[in-house]
Amino acid sequence: MTQAESLNVFAEPLETCGTDPVTGFFRDGCCNTSKQDLGSHTVCVELSQEFLEFSRSRGNDLMTPMPQFDFPGLSAGQRWCLCATRWLEAHKESKAPRVYLRRTHSRALETVPMEILRGYALDLS
């Protein structure tokens, strides 16, 4: 699998999203992506309980551990690379978690407008 160039939404080097647990489509800690990443796991977020429950209601339970897939289960406060389309869906329902823009892959902008992401940014100074 060939990764897309690792740039964030500012066209700067992509920063690590999370390593405890290790996140990302490639499980490299970053929201890297490729053509094989059909879900575009490109938005780095700080998970909220509200979003985790929203995701479970949409059929993607991120809270329950799945040892067979080496998945520990997630909880509020952890960082995770979300699918851009799921994040946008959550935004439309007022359930989207906050975002780390410097850790969010530039490909997320193909799905989510920068103006919307900026409204959820945790890392703008």
Q: Where are the domains of the chain?
A: 1-125
Is the torsion defined by CA of 71, 32, 82, 97 positive or negative?
positive
Return the minimum-mean-pLDDT range out of 33-37, 90-94, 96-100: 33-37
The pTM of the full predicted model, rounded to 2 decimals, is 0.93
The whole-angstrom separation of Cα 85 and Cα 112 is: 8
Percent of the chain with pLDDT over 70: 96
E strand or H helix at 98, and its extent? Answer: strand 98-99
Q: Which pLDDT does position 2 carry in this prediction?
A: 59
Kindly give, in sequence order, each residue whose CB lies less than 8 Å from that of residue 46, ignoring residues fewer than 6 positions away: 77, 78, 79, 97, 98, 100, 122
Q: What is the pLDDT of residue 69?
A: 83
State whether the Cα torsion 44-46-51-53 is positive or negative. positive
CATH superfamily ID and name for 1-125: Protein of unknown function DUF2237 (3.30.56.110)
pLDDT band at 71 (very low <50, low <70, confident <90, very high): confident
- Please report the pLDDT score of residue 70 as a whole number: 82
